[in-house]
Amino acid sequence: MLPAANQSLSNRNRKGTRAAVLEAILLSESAVRGEIARQANLSEASVSRILSELRVDGMIEESRIAAPYAGGPTSVISVSKDIRVAGFELANDRLSFGVGPLSGAAEYVDRTDVGPRLAQADFELHFDEGIARMREWIDERGIVPRRAALAIPGFLPGRRNPILPWDSKRLAEFLTDRLGDLPVDITNSVVAQAALRRYAGQDPPEEDSHLFLFVGHGVAGTLVHGGGAIDSFRPYEIGHMVIERGGRTCRCGHHGCLEAYVSLGAMSQILGGTELDISAGDSAAIAARVAKTNCGSEIHERLVLLGVAVGNALNLEVTNRVRIGGWPSLLPDMARDAIMQGLGESLLGEASSVQLDFVAPALGADPKAALCFAAHRFVANGAPMVGGLDQAGEAVA
Ligand SMILES: [Zn+2]
């Protein structure tokens, strides 16, 4: 799909134009008119019209600034902090609830430990408790979230979830029943992570596509098109690529899946059976721990396996750019050596042609990724007023 900025104005409806303007504002946090026009590929006159409309809708805020040069802009525009979304995320063995503005910041966070293999009925019980606490918080403040998203691992549209073998129809009906008028989307954790990266300014909009891989409790990837619609990104459950026939048992029921070798859980086992403190995201502490436990070569071997799997994935998907988040980002030197070695063993062509980068680990940030995905869906849908723009076709995923 083409990035919004490449679509001609004539192809855009009002919803699309509002979406392009809001996305440009959101990506620059506080933007000036000319910059919005450039980013959204619209004339300044069109941007002015849309901004007036968004101002009336209470969607944007303007603050006066001293013109940086004669005739320069005298106001910066940001998305109103009063517009809020809700995010629910199942990650790090916990169910998190969040509420926040479109920037993805979490003003409200509530987390419940739920363990690694949550049954659907238990999810529903935990969700009911969490949503009751969240409702109390928003009611006290008179907040009405405009969009919600649930990010879960293993979610593949139209296919069985290998991690959470739940009844998808029951899940959609449950959410609709509990959330009433609040539109909600279900997405894969890695697609939500891609939204988090974009709104945190870590994913420049005009870039070529790259494979984004997240290595946490699970391992998943998605092909990120710079500036493209995130909700069209397809998740790849690369963690369930079998790399050793009859190998280690995986939570999906198969044996020898990549995840069983390189997940955070597998790392914790190597590092003496205790959980890694992921929330601190402290590179130095983890490197020190690896050095102390004398298990560097074992971790190196596991990262080579990750490289082999990535090489296999790149043989199928045409890109030579890979960005990795999650725990390997905390050991970037070791991870780069090992992954490049693995790539060399599986990639057709020169491993040196692959541009490998490590990005912010973003571990333990749940439910921020779900909040960012909800914000993306709200903006992509033209930031509808309640009962305003047509929402036909926006069915729960
Ligand atoms: Zn598996």
Average pLDDT value over all residues in the chain: 87
For residues 27 and 134, membership in a common domain is answered with: no
Q: Where are the beta strands (DSSP E) in the chain?
A: 60-64, 75-79, 84-91, 94-101, 108-113, 148-152, 184-188, 210-215, 219-224, 235-236, 321-326, 355-358
Q: Is the pLDDT of residue 289 over 80?
A: no
Structural domain includes residue 236 = yes
Domain end marker among 50, 79, 108: 79
Per-residue confidence (pLDDT) for residue 4, from 0 to 100? 44
For residues 133 and 209, membership in a common domain is answered with: no
Which carries the bigger pLDDT value, residue 379 or residue 28?
379
For residues 254 and 141, membership in a common domain is answered with: no
Per-residue confidence (pLDDT) for residue 308, from 0 to 100? 97
Q: What would the two tokens of residue 259 be? A: 């995840």
**Residue-range definition of the domain harbouring residue 243:** 204-358
Per-residue confidence (pLDDT) for residue 72, from 0 to 100? 77
Q: How far is the CA of 323 from the centre of ligand 1 (A)?
A: 22
Structural domain includes residue 294 = yes
Structural domain includes residue 388 = no
Q: Is the pLDDT of residue 195 over 50?
A: yes
**pLDDT tier at 278 (50, 70, 90 boundaries)?**
low
Q: Is the pLDDT of residue 207 over 90?
A: no
Q: How far is the CA of 244 from the centre of ligand 1 (A)?
A: 11
Per-residue confidence (pLDDT) for residue 1, from 0 to 100? 40
Q: What does the radius of gyration of the chain's CA atoms come to, in whole angstroms?
A: 22
Structural domain includes residue 66 = yes
* Residues of the chain above pLDDT 90, percent: 58
For residues 15 and 131, membership in a common domain is answered with: no
Q: How far is the CA of 166 from the centre of ligand 1 (A)?
A: 16
Q: Is the pLDDT of residue 274 over 80?
A: no
Q: How far is the CA of 267 from the centre of ligand 1 (A)?
A: 16
Angle at 170 between CA 131 and CA 372, to 5 degrees: 50
**pLDDT tier at 3 (50, 70, 90 boundaries)?**
very low
Mean pLDDT of 336-342: 96
For residues 128 and 107, membership in a common domain is answered with: yes
**pLDDT tier at 293 (50, 70, 90 boundaries)?**
confident
Structural domain includes residue 385 = no
Per-residue confidence (pLDDT) for residue 77, from 0 to 100? 92
Q: How far is the CA of 91 from the centre of ligand 1 (A)?
A: 17
Q: Is the pLDDT of residue 205 over 80?
A: no
For residues 224 and 153, membership in a common domain is answered with: no
Structural domain includes residue 197 = no
DSSP 118: -
For residues 214 and 345, membership in a common domain is answered with: yes
Q: How many domains does the chain have?
A: 3
Q: How far is the CA of 219 from the centre of ligand 1 (A)?
A: 10
Q: How far is the CA of 204 from the centre of ligand 1 (A)?
A: 32
CATH number of domain containing 260: 3.30.420.40
| Among 309, 330, 331, 333, CA closest to 322 | 309
Q: How far is the CA of 319 from the centre of ligand 1 (A)?
A: 24
Q: Is the pLDDT of residue 390 over 70?
A: no
Report the sign of the C-alpha dihedral through residues 121, 122, 123, 124, in that order.
positive
Q: What would the two tokens of residue 41 be? A: 């590929």
3-state secondary structure of 191: helix
Per-residue confidence (pLDDT) for residue 337, from 0 to 100? 95
Which of the given ranges, 27-31, 40-44, 86-90, has the highest pLDDT on average?
86-90
For residues 173 and 92, membership in a common domain is answered with: yes
Which carries the bigger pLDDT value, residue 7 or residue 268?
268
| Among 200, 201, 189, 208, CA closest to 151 | 189
pLDDT in tens, 95-116: 999 999 998 889 999 999 998 8
Half-sphere exposure of 195 (CA within 13 A, CB side): 38
For residues 75 and 90, membership in a common domain is answered with: no
- Phi, psi values for residue 212, rounded to 5°: -100, 130
Q: How far is the CA of 238 from the centre of ligand 1 (A)?
A: 9
Distance CA 345, CA 160 (A): 31
For residues 296 and 336, membership in a common domain is answered with: yes
Distance CA 60, CA 43 (A): 19
Helix and strand numbers, DSSP H then E, in the chain: 12, 12
**pLDDT tier at 9 (50, 70, 90 boundaries)?**
very low
CATH number of domain containing 40: 1.10.10.10
Query: Which helix (H) or strand (E) covers residue 50, if one does?
Result: helix 44-56
pLDDT in tens, 40-53: 889 999 999 999 99
Mean pLDDT of 136-159: 95
Q: How far is the CA of 252 from the centre of ligand 1 (A)?
A: 4
Which carries the bigger pLDDT value, residue 52 or residue 363?
52
For residues 371 and 314, membership in a common domain is answered with: no
Give CA 58 to chain center in angstroms: 27
Task: Give me the residue label for tokens 């990549």.
Answer: 258
Per-residue confidence (pLDDT) for residue 281, from 0 to 100? 57
For residues 139 and 263, membership in a common domain is answered with: no
pLDDT in tens, 221-272: 999 987 788 989 999 999 999 999 999 999 899 999 999 999 988 988 888 7
